[in-house]
Structure 1
Amino acid sequence: MGVGRVIGVSVGTVAILAVGLYGPATLLGPLPEATTSTIPVDEIPANDPVLPADGASALTEDPTGTPLAVAGDTQPVPMAAATKVIAALVVLDAHPLAADDEGAIVPITSEDFLSYRDYQAAGARTVTVYTDDQWSERGMLQALLLGSSNNHADTLVRWAFGSVDDYLVAARAWLDENGLDGITVADATGLSEESAGTASDLAVVAALALQDPAIDSVLTSTVEGLPSRRGIENTTTYLPELGITGVSRSYTDAAGICLLFGLSVEIGDTTYRAYGAILRQSDWDALEAAVRALAEQAATAVVDESLIAVGTPLVTVTAPWGDEVTASAGAAVSEPHWAVSTPVVTTTLDPLEAAGAGTTIGSVEATAGGRTETAPLRLDERLQDPGVLWRITHPIPVISALIADLHEG
């Protein structure tokens, strides 16, 4: 066979193979991926919780999340009887108590009786004790939280930890464990101005207190038995008609007027809850005005809807062959929340070729006011296949997609 003939056969063979591969590659190979661009979300008016500019205040929905709002002084300030709430939480961490249990008997020692007399002589708030008393752990918590008894604060922590000093070590460990590094506890009562905390951390303390079954029960139940006979009344109750549950309401010269509280708003069959701290208020009228303004705002600011409404267009999808469609947010699991501001939206997209309407092409994450929701991202219309003609006449993008697909495989 001559050289020319060999070359001719070879070229012909290559040509036939090329044609044989070209057709299947362009007709059956994967399509090049579509590109996407973000559609801006419509701005909504800011609706941050209204907190007083004076003093130090914070509101949170979740003890583990970012505060909804912070106002005034952001540094630690004296916290008065909020210190007693921390004492209750630390004791209950070591000696848990069910909502309906009385708990162990806490004996009243000579030291406890003398402590009571000393606080009484100093004009500090006390609840009477005698050495033959039989106080239960629950009764002690009632005296501590409802009666704001300074002598019961010391007695309870001595019973739980051996001494006030040992309690302070345990309290520091508990605060660190809960990420409350903005709080310093120097006593069990809050009479020391060195017992101080940030409003943000004390809003978390309010949340932790109301989520503890024993404390929640103490704050909302009738006082009976020995605590009742010793004149304990609920000093924490505050504006319940506005959905407020007082956790601690107190005053010292160093701290001013302080309130730890929960806020409830009924939304359909569910209840929205937030937790707050309002500290260093100048007088009781200023405190009431601040709480009323917040509760009235909550009545309209709390909504039961997703951060991103179903059907909100978020992405424009453009195919190399010219087809263009939008993709919108699907349904997200939502719960009542304070509609603070326009959410920050992040989309995550899967590789996309042609697909039908309603196809999930990724997900959307929306964040606002310390909460995050995730929803599917779905095509609003069908992203059309370009058809045979486009595939045959655009071999480079089609074969490039095939090569990339083979490399990934």
Structure 2
Amino acid sequence: MSASSGPGTLDDLVDLLDESPGAQRGSGRAGRIALVTFVVVVLMVLAGGGGYVWWASSAALPAPTVTSEASAVAPGAPAAIALPAEGAMLVSVAGGEDYLGPDAAGAFASSGGNDPRPLASVTKLITAMVVLDAHPLDGPNDPGPTISFTEADTDLYDQFYVQGVTIARMPDGTSMSQRDAMATMLLPSASNYAVALARWGFGSEGAFVQAARSWLSAKGLNDTRIVDATGVDERNSSTPGDLVALGRLAAADPVIATLTATRSISVVGPGTVTNTNDLLGTLGVNGLKTGNLGDGLFNLLFTSTLDVGVSGPLKITGVRMGGATHDSTDADVRALLQSIEDGFHDVSVGRLGDEVGTITTPWGSTATIVLAKNAALRTWSDTPVAASLVTVAPRSYADGEVVGTVTWTAGPNTASADVKISGTIEEPTLWWRLTHPGDLG
């Protein structure tokens, strides 16, 4: 036999020696064991005093083969956004773009189109912002200048009273801070205070209307029309798109945001005034303004800081126009916000002991790998969930040894869990090591 065709393993060498002409053969298994022992001794000698055996017994083992069974899990149930069948609604959501998509901050959900509709008392929010533009306060708690209302202002009470319009007491000689006057206009929606503020701020209601139109144009609210300071006139109108943009401007103004989030306030003259926005504090609602011109003409421009269990709360701005009644309008907004909150849920992606793969060694020992803990992932709607398994070579091959990690991903969120060996993986015998030098590190 040529040198190139020599034995490849210890078994081959034993077979050759056993078959060689000069071999003194033993009988049966005992003879073969003796021959193997002889060969090992020879190899030890040839390797230089046991160096090969030492190397083979301590050399790094080859990596096992892992067959992954970690797969994508079923997503959560699709979100069902509650939108009214009549009238119009438009909702914008900021802070959740990674979940809801990049367009959510513009128009997340809508119904009823974008045609102009009567503003009603949402007009008073515009009145407040236009007055503040001309006469700013130094922060949300600054009372501002004192306003001494005239007899013509106090007469407004009787004028609006006969119209059945919301008003607040303004006794003769009433004086109050600008902030309190604005609170009396915004919270109970007092029309007499809206006109009185417009007159104080601009000299006349007509001058206020011109200033308001210029302000709206400068803000790009070109689909909004103002003809008075109160909204009593149905010609005051706007679109859902303009009103959501107005809502963002209002929420960014600390004076307006603070006043419209106030449930009630005690004011000299009118006494205690209460906010008409009954949803304050419900599902994160913290503003902005109601409007009411009778059945079928109820509006609510609202903001909500809604905690849905992700990294930060959602900043929601929305408007409901053309609601049937005050209560039904509230119910429509409540249902919408609840449906957004319900659209976020925890999806169970794995449970302790779930099999996620198998691990097989080159020397033929096999065990399963399982999850080391329960895992869940916060997701939006039916966002797909993907899974990946990364493993490392075991050190001891013991039952319960951690050999990797499963990571699940849905949108911007991830969850992970260690995976561990379930069952016993036998370590290779010395014989396997001695006879597989090419597999050792």
Using the size of structure 1 for normalisation, the TM-score is: 0.59
Stretches of structure 2 that go unaligned for 5 or more consecutive residues are 1-74, 95-102, 346-377, 385-410, 413-441
Cα deviations across residues 196-249 of structure 1 (Å, max 9, x unaligned)?
Answer: 111121122222222211112112346444358523112123152322234112
1:172 and 2:207 equivalent? no
Cα deviations across residues 291-350 of structure 1 (Å, max 9, x unaligned)?
Answer: 2221112214469xxxxxxxxxxxxxxxxxxxxxxxxxxxxxxxx9987999xxxxxxxx
Is the CA contact 1:107–1:131 (under 8 Å) kept in the aligned structure 2? Answer: no
Q: 1:51 aligns with which of 50, 61, 83?
A: 83
Q: What is the DSSP-based 3-state SS (H/G/I as helix, E as strand, rest coil) of the residue aligned with 2:320? A: strand
Change (3 A) 1:183 1:255: farther
Q: Within 5 Å, give how 1:2-401 maps onto structure 2.
A: 49-61=81-93, 66-97=106-137, 98-221=139-262, 223-227=264-268, 230-238=271-279, 240-253=281-294, 256-266=297-307, 267-268=309-310, 270-301=312-343
Is the CA contact 2:170–2:269 (under 8 Å) kept in the aligned structure 1? Answer: no
Give the whole-Å Cα distance in 2 for the aligned partners of 1:78 and 1:86. 14
Tell me by how many angstroms 1:53 deviates. 2.5
Give the whole-Å Cα distance in 2 for the aligned partners of 1:137 and 1:195. 24
- Return the letter of the residue paired with 1:274: I
- Return the letter of the residue paired with 2:128: A
Give the whole-Å Cα distance in 2 for the aligned partners of 1:260 and 1:337. 28
Is the CA contact 2:261–2:287 (under 8 Å) kept in the aligned structure 1? Answer: no
Tell me by how many angstroms 1:55 deviates. 0.5
Aligned counterpart, 1:312: none
Is the CA contact 2:296–2:324 (under 8 Å) kept in the aligned structure 1? Answer: no
Q: What is the DSSP-based 3-state SS (H/G/I as helix, E as strand, rest coil) of the residue aligned with 2:120? A: coil
Give the whole-Å Cα distance in 1 for the aligned partners of 2:205 and 2:90. 29
Tell me by how many angstroms 1:187 deviates. 0.8
Give the whole-Å Cα distance in 2 for the aligned partners of 1:207 and 1:219. 13
Is the CA contact 2:76–2:381 (under 8 Å) kept in the aligned structure 1? Answer: no
Is the CA contact 1:204–1:276 (under 8 Å) kept in the aligned structure 2? Answer: no
Tell me by how many angstroms 1:174 deviates. 1.1
Change (3 A) 1:301 1:139: same
Which structure has the larger Rg?
2
Tell me by how many angstroms 1:81 deviates. 0.7
Give the whole-Å Cα distance in 1 for the aligned partners of 2:79 and 2:242. 22
What root-mean-square deviation, in Å, do the aligned CA atoms of Structure 1 and Structure 2 show? 3.2
- Return the letter of the residue paired with 2:109: A
Aligned length: 271
Q: What is the DSSP-based 3-state SS (H/G/I as helix, E as strand, rest coil) of the residue aligned with 1:240? A: coil
Q: What is the DSSP-based 3-state SS (H/G/I as helix, E as strand, rest coil) of the residue aligned with 1:289? A: helix
Change (3 A) 1:221 1:185: same
Stretches of structure 1 that go unaligned for 5 or more consecutive residues are 1-42, 304-335, 343-367, 374-409
Give the whole-Å Cα distance in 1 for the aligned partners of 2:149 and 2:338. 45
Cα deviations across residues 338-373 of structure 1 (Å, max 9, x unaligned)?
Answer: 87999xxxxxxxxxxxxxxxxxxxxxxxxx9xxxx9
Give the whole-Å Cα distance in 2 for the aligned partners of 1:337 and 1:212. 32
Using the size of structure 2 for normalisation, the TM-score is: 0.55
Between the aligned residues of both structures, percent identity stands at 29
Aligned counterpart, 2:12: none
Tell me by how many angstroms 1:73 deviates. 3.7
- Return the letter of the residue paired with 2:340: A
